[in-house]
Amino acid sequence: MDGLRQDLKFALRMMRKTPSVTAVAVLTLAISIGATTSIFSAVSSMLLRPLPFPHPDELVALQDTEPQTSPHGFSWPEFTDIRSQVPDLARFAAYRQETSNLTGRGEPRVIINTLVTEGFFELLGVAPVAGRFFTPEEHVPNAAPAVVVSEGFWHDVLGGVAPGSTITLDGLPYLLAGVAPQPVSTTLILSDVFSTLERKVPWTDRGQHYLETVGRLKAGVTLTRAKADLAIAMPRIAAAAKANHLAEMQYLQDFVYGVARPLLLLLLAAVGLVLLIASVNLASVVLSRATGRVREFAVRRAMGASRAMLARQLIVENAVVGLAGGVFGVLLALWGRDVVVRIWPASLPKLYDAPLDWRVLAFAAVVSIGTGIGIGLLPALQATRSDVHTELREGAGASPRGRARSVLVVLQSALAVVLLVSAVLVLRSLTRMIDRGPGFHARSVLSVRVPLPPQKYAEKQRISFFRDLVERVSALPGVRAAGVVSRVPLGGGSTDGNYSVVGRPPLDEEHQRYADKRVASPGYFAAMQIPIVRGRPYAEGDPGREIVINEKLARDEFPGEDPIGRQIAQGSDPGHDEAVVVGVAADVKQRRLNEEPAREIYFPMSSWPLSEVDLVVRTDGDPMALLPAVKAQIALLDPSQPVTKVRTIEQVLERNAGPQRLAAQLLSAFAAAALLLAALGIYGVVSYAVGRREREIGVRMALGAQASDVLRMVLREGLRLSLVGAVAGIATALALARLLAGFLYGVSTMDPATYVGVAGVLLAAAAAATFFPARRATRVDPAIALRAE
Partner 1 sequence: MMIKLRNIEKSIKQGAGQLFLLRRIDLDIESGDFVTIMGPSGAGKSTLLAILGMLDAGWTGEYEFLGEKVHELPQKKRAEIAKRNVGFVFQQYHLLDTLTVAENLEVPLSYRDMKSAERQSLVADTLDRFGIVGKKDLYPSQLSGGQQQLVGVARAVIASPKLLLADEPTGNLHSAQGEEIMKLFKQLNQQGATIVQVTHSDANAAFGNRIVRLRDGWIEKT
Nearer to partner 1, 392 or 598 (CB): 392
| Calpha distance 640→625 (Å, rounded) | 22
Query: Are 317 and 372 a contacting pair, CB within 8 Å?
Result: no
Asked if residue 17 binds partner 1 (CB under 8 A), the reply is yes
Residues 188 and 51 sit within 8 Å (Cβ to Cβ) = yes
Evaluate whether 378 touches 647 at the Cβ level (below 8 Å).
no
Cα distances (angstroms) measured from residue 586 to each of 431, 518, 530, 535, 600 = 21, 14, 6, 12, 10
- Residue 730 burial by CB count (10 A; 0-12/13-18/19+): exposed, middle or buried? buried
Position 394 contacts partner 1 (CB under 8 A):
no
CB distance 78 to 206 below 8 Å: yes
**Exposure of 194 by Cβ count < 10 A (0-12 exposed, 13-18 middle, 19+ buried)?**
buried
Q: Which is nearer to partner 1, 11 or 43 (CB)?
A: 11
Among 350, 393, 511, 716, binds partner 1 (CB under 8 A): 393
Stretches 189-197, 353-361, 390-398, 655-663: which one binds partner 1 (CB under 8 A)? 390-398
* Least distance between partner 1 and beta carbon 18 (Å): 9
Instruction: Choose between 14 and 581: whose C-beta lies nearer to partner 1.
Output: 14
DSSP for residue 638: -
Q: Which amino acid, 588?
A: V
Separation CA 764–CA 413 (nearest Å): 12
The answer to whether the beta carbons of residues 321 and 29 sit under 8 Å apart is yes
| Residues 652, 658: Cα–Cα separation, whole Å | 10
Going residue by residue from 335 to 374, which x/- string records binding to partner 1, judged by CB under 8 A?
A: ----------------------------------------
- Map residues 395-434 to x or -, x wherever contact with partner 1 holds by CB under 8 A: x---------------------------------------
Comparison of 47 and 388: residue with beta carbon closer to partner 1: 388
CB of 29 to partner 1, least distance (A): 22
Judged by CB under 8 A, which of 155, 389, 511, 716 binds partner 1? 389
The string of DSSP letters for 435-462 reads HH--SS--TTEEEEEEEPPTTTS-HHHH
Q: 516-555 mask for partner 1 (x: CB under 8 A)?
A: ----------------------------------------
| Beta carbon nearer to partner 1, 302 or 339 | 302
Cα 694 from Cα 686, distance rounded (Å): 12
Q: Which is nearer to partner 1, 104 or 395 (CB)?
A: 395
Residue placing its CB nearer to partner 1 in the complex, 376 or 718: 376
Pairing of strands 600-603, 513-519: parallel
Would you tell me how many other CB atoms lie within 10 Å of the CB of residue 637?
A: 15
Least distance CB 376 / partner 1 (angstroms): 17
Per-residue contact string for residues 282-311; x = within reach of partner 1 by CB under 8 A: -------------xx-xxxxxxxxx--x--
Interface map 20-39 toward partner 1 (x if CB under 8 A): --------------------
Q: What is the DSSP letter of 48?
A: I
CB of 309 to partner 1, least distance (A): 6
Pick 291 or 590: Cβ nearer partner 1: 291
> Is 392 among the residues that bind partner 1 (CB under 8 A)?
yes
Smallest separation, CB 3 to partner 1 (Å): 7
CA–CA dist 475, 140 (Å, integer): 46
Contact flag: residue 19 with partner 1 (CB under 8 A): no
Q: Which stretch binds partner 1 (CB under 8 A): 389-397, 466-474, 531-539, 739-747?
A: 389-397
Query: For residue 780, what is the DSSP state?
Result: -
Shortest Cβ distance from residue 20 to partner 1 (Å)? 16
Q: How far is the CB of 785 from partner 1 (least distance, A)?
A: 23
Distances in Å between the alpha carbon of 533 and those of 374, 481, 552, 595, 598?
62, 19, 12, 22, 17
| Shortest Cβ 291–partner 1 spacing (Å) | 15
Q: Closest CB to partner 1 among 321 and 643? A: 321
Smallest gap from Cβ 310 to partner 1, in A, equals: 10
CB 276, min distance to partner 1, A: 30
Whether the CB-CB separation of 629 and 482 falls below 8 Å is answered with no
Answer for which of 11, 14, 60, 126 binds partner 1 (CB under 8 A) is 14
Q: Which is nearer to partner 1, 387 or 562 (CB)?
A: 387
| SS3 of 525-591 | HHHHCCCEEEECCCCCCCCCCEEEEEHHHHHHHCCCCCCCCCEEEECCCCCCCEEEEEEEECCCCCC
The three-state secondary structure class of 242 is: coil
Name the minimum Å distance from CB 392 to partner 1: 6
Angle formed at CA 599 by CA 247 and CA 506, multiple of 5 degrees: 70
Interface mask (CB under 8 A) for partner 1, residues 369-388, using x and -?
A: -------------------x
Q: What are phi and psi of 59, to 5 degrees?
A: -85, 130
Distance of alpha carbon 603 from alpha carbon 519, whole angstroms: 5
> Which residues are registered as beta bridge partners of 516?
496, 600
Kind of pairing, strands 172-180 and 496-501?
Answer: unpaired
| CA pair distance 71, 80, nearest whole angstrom | 18
Please give the size of the binding site for partner 1, defined by CB under 8 A.
Answer: 24
> Shortest approach of partner 1 to residue 695 CB, angstroms?
21
The nearer residue to partner 1, 13 or 738, going by C-beta atoms, is: 13
Q: Which listed range, 6-14, 201-209, 275-283, 398-406, lies at the site for partner 1 (CB under 8 A)?
A: 6-14
504 binds partner 1 (CB under 8 A): no
CB of 43 to partner 1, least distance (A): 41
Q: How far apart are CB 296 and partner 1 at their closest, in Å?
A: 5
Q: Rounded to the nearest whole angstrom, what is the least distance from the CB of residue 52 to partner 1 in the complex? A: 51
Least distance to partner 1 from the beta carbon of 781, Å? 27
β-sheet bridge partners, residue 658? none
CB of 287 to partner 1, least distance (A): 19
Q: 207 or 400, CB closer to partner 1?
A: 400
151-154: long-range contacts, CB 8 A cutoff, minimum separation 24: 151/179, 151/180, 151/181, 151/182, 151/185, 152/182, 152/185, 152/186, 153/111, 153/185, 153/192, 153/193, 154/129, 154/130, 154/179
Q: Are 33 and 368 in contact (CB under 8 A)?
A: yes
Residues contacting residue 414 through CB under 8 Å, at least 6 positions apart: 725, 726, 728, 729, 732
Which range of residues in 180-188, 244-252, 314-322, 391-399 is near partner 1 by CB under 8 A? 391-399
User: Which three-class secondary structure state does DSSP give residue 211?
Assistant: strand
Nearest residue (CB) to partner 1, 13 versus 716: 13
Q: Which range, of 2-10, 231-239, 281-289, 542-550, touches partner 1 by CB under 8 A? A: 2-10
Kindly tell me which of 229 and 394 has the beta carbon lying closer to partner 1: 394
Minimum Å gap between C-beta 298 and partner 1 is 8
Stretch that binds partner 1, among 13-21, 126-134, 203-211, 678-686 (CB under 8 A): 13-21
Name which of 141 and 292 has its Cβ closer to partner 1.
Answer: 292
The residues that touch partner 1, with contacts defined as CB under 8 A, are: 2-3, 6, 10, 13-14, 17, 295-296, 298-306, 309, 388-389, 392-393, 395
